[in-house]
């Protein structure tokens, strides 16, 4: 396991060629007509046909061997604690395992599993600032973990949010996991957070573990968080009519998680599709949780939603990449010049009934990953967690 915190150590030029299927992460054009990407010093500088891009002076060349490439996957909902350790199921290296499942960016929905987590206001602010610093200073296996997400508690005032923002906190943890469980108080605090540039999410549905509570559609609508956290419950989902109400009556992010109700996930997806708002759909795992850690959780969601929710595979990949990047103002998640060079090289798994990557995913198979790249640096080669890919990308020079 590497403990890389930085991007490339010196000037670098990465060239990836022979890409068979180039997924953009953009719902507007999910497949690009290109077979090569160039990234300099960790940023995408060119996308096109190999003959047209400037590959001169490459420091690393990757041969995709005709396989697929996607932007690095983004887990919109996870619960990190300290480095690559989680006390939730006493696991080490769970983030590294997720990287082997294609996840290059994670967003904390609160460091709520921290043993002895403080509930007093001074303590919760200190913990948030500390977590933000820790995961900025230390990236487990290179994965970008956006952490430092305080859970709001009764008694917080506007000044607290101003202070958190000034200290570098950019996220709230799930509203509802603390003492604030009513719409009116939540709405006020979420508005203060938003005023100072802090994004918010909420725990939607029944209690997840002993100690948490029910958050129904009325509270979610009143709180007006930027993201409707696990609209499919975590695990216990709201009734269908409340899920429909959330889809139809606000424009906020519709987050679907692995550790939620799968039937409700499909219902939310179909409703978003019906109202023509697939750009609101983003994916998370909600791991670690009672259901454990799912290194392939995001890939499993992409395959499940594509296979059972009747969306093309290339569209389902957008839920885990470009949609999340746009909603959360991240500089990754899309294959565009200027974006971070975070990639997953993948293909249909060996012996899939599908003829290519997209068909395999639409049939519900989990793709095989042969490489991950973060900030233009190769982080992993053949995944230790996915089935083996039909074609294996290789470092050519």
- Residues in the site for Zn ion, rule: CB under 5 A? 174, 203, 208, 234
Judged by beta carbon, residue 149 or residue 330, the one nearer Zn ion is 149
Closer residue to Zn ion (CB): 110 or 322:
110
Long-range contacts from 246-250, C-beta under 8 angstroms, 24+ separation: 246/204, 246/217, 246/220, 246/221, 247/271, 247/272, 247/275, 247/277, 247/280, 248/275, 249/221, 250/221, 250/224
The C-alpha angle with vertex 217 and arms to 305 and 128, in degrees rounded to 5, equals 80
Task: Give the pair of three-digit tokens for residue 377.
Answer: 């640096």
Q: How far is the CB of 286 from Zn ion (least distance, A)?
A: 6
Rounded distance between C-alpha atoms, residue 136 and residue 145, angstroms: 7
Between 38 and 175, name the residue whose CB sits nearer to Zn ion. Answer: 175
CB atoms within 10 A of CB 18: 17
Shortest distance (Å) from residue 202 CB to Zn ion: 8
CB of 122 to Zn ion, least distance (A): 25
**Structure-block tokens of residue 85:** 């350790």
Q: At CA 27, angle to CA 94 and CA 336, rounded to 5?
A: 75
Shortest Å, Cβ 233 to Zn ion: 9
The minimum distance between CB 186 and Zn ion, in angstroms, equals 14
User: Taking the complex as a whole, how short is the minimal distance between the CB of residue 190 and Zn ion, in angstroms?
Assistant: 16
Strands of the sheet with 13-17, listed across from one edge: 43-48, 36-40, 13-17, 60-63, 394-395
What is the rounded CA–CA span in Å between residue 267 and residue 279?
16
Residue 37 to residue 50: CA distance in whole angstroms = 8
Kindly tell me which of 95 and 175 has the beta carbon lying closer to Zn ion. 175
Structure-token match 């990236």, residue found: 139
Cβ–Cβ < 8 Å for 191, 161: no
Q: How far is the CB of 11 from Zn ion (least distance, A)?
A: 43
User: Considering beta carbons, is residue 183 or 234 the nearer one to Zn ion?
Assistant: 234
């Amino acid at each position: 396991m590497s403990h890389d915190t930085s991007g490339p150590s010196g000037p670098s030029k990465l060239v990836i060629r022979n890409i068979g299927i180039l997924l953009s992460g953009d719902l507007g054009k999910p497949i690009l007509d290109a077979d090569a990407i160039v990234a300099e010093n960790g940023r995408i500088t060119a996308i096109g046909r190999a003959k047209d891009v400037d590959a001169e002076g490459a420091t690393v060349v990757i041969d995709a061997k005709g396989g697929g490439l996607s932007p690095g996957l983004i887990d919109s909902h996870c619960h990190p604690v300290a480095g690559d350790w989680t006390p939730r199921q006493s696991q080490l290296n769970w983030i590294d395992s997720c990287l082997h499942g294609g996840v290059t960016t994670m967003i904390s929905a609160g460091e709520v599993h921290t043993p002895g987590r403080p509930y007093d206001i001074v303590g919760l602010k200190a913990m948030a600032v500390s977590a933000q610093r820790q995961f900025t200073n230390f990236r487990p296996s290179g994965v970008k973990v956006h952490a430092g997400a305080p859970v709001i508690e009764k008694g917080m005032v506007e000044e607290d949010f101003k202070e958190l923002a000034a200290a570098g906190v950019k996220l709230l943890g799930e509203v509802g996991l603390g003492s604030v469980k009513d719409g009116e108080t939540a709405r006020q605090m979420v508005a203060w957070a938003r005023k100072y540039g802090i994004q918010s999410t909420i725990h939607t549905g029944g209690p997840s573990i002993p100690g948490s509570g029910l958050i129904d559609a009325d509270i979610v609508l009143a709180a007006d968080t930027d993201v409707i956290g696990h609209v499919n419950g975590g695990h216990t989902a709201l009734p269908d009519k409340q899920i429909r109400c959330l889809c139809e009556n606000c424009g906020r992010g519709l987050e679907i998680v692995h550790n939620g109700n799968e039937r409700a996930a499909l219902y939310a997806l179909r409703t978003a599709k019906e109202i023509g708002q697939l750009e609101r759909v983003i994916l998370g795992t909600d791991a670690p949780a009672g259901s454990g850690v799912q290194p392939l959780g995001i890939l499993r969601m992409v395959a499940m939603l594509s296979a059972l929710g009747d969306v093309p595979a290339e569209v389902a990949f957008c839920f885990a990449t470009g949609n999340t990047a746009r909603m959360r103002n991240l500089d990754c998640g899309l294959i565009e010049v200027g974006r971070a060079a975070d990639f997953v090289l993948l293909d249909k798994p060996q012996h899939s009934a599908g003829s290519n990557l997209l068909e395999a995913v639409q049939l519900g198979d989990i793709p095989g990953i042969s490489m991950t790249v973060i900030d233009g640096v190769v982080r992993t080669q053949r995944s230790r967690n996915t089935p083996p890919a039909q074609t294996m990308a290789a470092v050519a020079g």
